[in-house]
Amino acid sequence: MIDGIEYLIEKNALEEVVTNYCVAVDKLDDLDFMMTNFTEDAVLDLTGLQLPRFEGHEQIRGFYAQVFADMSHHMHVLTNFRVVALNGNDATIYAYINGLGRSKSGIDVQVYVYYDLDLRKENGAWRISRFYEAPQMPMSDSVTQVHKKN
């Protein structure tokens, strides 16, 4: 693992990707921006939330298209960001998220989850290659109610 200034620069770049992901999911209207956060071969594994696993841009984009259609509001707060591993062009990070949302059908969602992510640097830019999300606190049934058709 690198250290010093180099480490701080890479840590900041990694955290920026996760922040950009949160901004993209909160905007609820820009699928192209959402997909810039993922490698082409990325895996979005939401099985920890009792939701499906998606592989590649096409499946991931389809999931977020449905999320954007279902939700009227989103807000994600990122905390406890830490780099678990950083080796060359590969990194693993872990972070807590407090996610809030309201579906267009009026279902309110609040989750306390963690992100366990692998990121890969491609052409000088970090992207998410594996995204796993699971509860940090017990989940309410509202999450699966909102996304049950996916």
Q: Can you give the pTM of this predicted structure?
A: 0.92
* pLDDT-based confidence at residue 2 (cuts at 50, 70, 90): confident
Statement: residue 134 has pLDDT above 80:
yes
Statement: residue 80 has pLDDT above 80:
yes
73 Cβ neighbours under 8 A, 6+ residues apart:
28, 100, 101, 102
Question: What is the Cβ-side half-sphere exposure of residue 115, based on CA atoms within 13 angstroms?
Answer: 30
d(CA 150, CA 128): 22
Q: Domain of 96: which CATH number?
A: 3.10.450.50
- Quote the pLDDT of residue 130: 98
Question: How many distinct structural domains can be found in the chain?
Answer: 1
d(CA 3, CA 69): 43
- Does residue 25 contact residue 34 with C-beta atoms inside 8 Å? yes
Is residue 29 helix, strand or coil? coil
Average pLDDT, the chain: 94
Domain that holds residue 94: 4-147
Question: pLDDT digit string (tens) for 15-60?
Answer: 999 999 999 999 999 999 999 999 999 999 999 998 999 999 999 9
* pLDDT-based confidence at residue 141 (cuts at 50, 70, 90): confident
Question: pLDDT digit string (tens) for 81-131?
Answer: 999 999 999 999 999 999 999 999 999 999 999 999 999 999 999 999 999
